[in-house]
């Protein structure tokens, strides 16, 4: 209608909506959730780790190689890594002699296990059937070990590198030392096929050597060798043990000839490869 102003509707402003503040979660619940998740992860990892640890002893290759690496690291602290690697390889060849002969005799032998500063060892899961078998298994280590040492000596002759000369000398010495007629050394195993009386003679000689050249390894051999010698000497009159020591004369002669011949060869090898130098210099 003319002359009448239009009435404008007032704009509508909705009331502002202020949401109610959310309920705050206690801080300790968040921490508890994180710890729970971490705990579950640890449990799952632990279960897998346990399965791995149970499996590792069955992996003979892992056990041997891992113990070899540990031994190399230990010997490196004394002689340097080059000599340490060569020395551990000589130990491996020596122990493989025992393994191969034991399996030839039908015995279940473990892979070598290396023990820093004490050498290496294998485990027989069954006893030899007689002293002849025990002697052959015992002598096989120094025999194959001597072959490996001859390789080091040949490399020395070819290259003139004194590291190989030092390894050859130490290899000859190592195998000769193992021929000592004392249990549980290889020579003590060989004496089982000859006469148990040699254990007493060998032990007496070892006592004398320890007095003049005292060192921890000699004391350990005296300790373990004393227990082993006493046990086997005490059981020698048992009928089963008497059958164990019944060895044909031909076997006794072969064991004696091998033992004496190998010992003499190792003495000659030590004399030819003797080197008046510290191992850190090679």
Q: Which residues pair with 119 in a beta bridge?
A: 115
> Would you say residue 13 lies in a domain?
no
**What pLDDT does 45 receive?**
43
Residue 30: inside a domain, yes or no? Answer: no
Residue 269 belongs to a domain: yes
For residue 78, the enclosing domain spans 59-281
Say what the pLDDT of residue 277 is: 59
Give residue 192's pLDDT.
85
Whether the bond between 184 and the residue before it is cis, its omega within 30 degrees of 0, is yes
pLDDT of residue 129: 87
User: How many domains does the chain fold into?
Assistant: 1
Domain annotation covers residue 6: no
188 located within any domain: yes
What tokens does 57 get? 């002893």
From first to last of the 282 residues of the chain, give the pLDDT tens digit: 455 555 555 555 555 545 555 555 554 444 445 445 544 544 444 444 444 444 444 545 457 888 899 999 999 998 999 999 999 999 999 999 999 999 999 998 888 989 888 888 888 888 888 889 999 999 999 999 999 999 999 999 999 999 999 999 999 999 999 999 888 899 989 988 888 788 888 888 888 888 887 777 778 888 888 888 888 777 777 777 778 888 899 999 999 999 999 999 999 999 999 876 554 554
- Distance separating alpha carbons of residues 251 and 260, to the nearest angstrom: 14
CB 138 within 8 A of CB 186: yes
């Amino acid at each position: 209608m003319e002359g009448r102003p239009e009435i404008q509707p007032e704009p509508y402003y909705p009331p502002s909506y202020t949401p109610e503040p959310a309920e705050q979660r206690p801080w300790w619940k968040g921490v508890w959730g994180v710890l729970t998740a971490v705990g579950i992860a640890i449990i799952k990892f632990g279960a897998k780790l346990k399965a791995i640890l149970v499996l590792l002893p069955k992996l003979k290759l892992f056990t041997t190689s891992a113990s070899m690496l540990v031994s190399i690291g230990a010997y490196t602290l004394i002689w340097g890594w080059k000599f340490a690697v060569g020395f551990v390889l000589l130990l491996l060849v020596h122990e493989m002699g025992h393994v191969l002969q034991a399996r030839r005799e039908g015995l279940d032998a473990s892979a070598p296990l290396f023990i820093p500063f004490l050498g290496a060892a294998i485990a027989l899961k069954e006893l030899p059937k007689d002293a002849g078998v025990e002697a052959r298994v015992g002598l096989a280590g120094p025999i194959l070990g001597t072959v490996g040492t001859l390789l080091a000596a040949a490399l020395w002759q070819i290259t003139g590198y004194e590291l190989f000369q030092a390894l050859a000398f130490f290899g000859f010495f190592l195998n000769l030392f193992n021929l000592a007629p004392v249990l549980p050394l290889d020579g003590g195993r060989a004496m089982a096929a000859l006469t148990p009386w040699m254990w007493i003679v060998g032990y007496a000689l070892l006592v004398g050597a320890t007095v003049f050249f005292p060192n921890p390894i000699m004391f350990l051999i005296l300790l373990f060798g004393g227990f082993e010698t006493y046990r086997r000497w005490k059981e020698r009159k048992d009928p089963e043990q008497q059958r164990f020591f019944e060895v044909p004369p031909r076997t006794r002669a072969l064991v004696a000839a091998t033992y004496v011949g190998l010992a003499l060869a190792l003495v000659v090898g030590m004399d030819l490869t003797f080197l008046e130098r510290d191992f850190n210099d090679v």
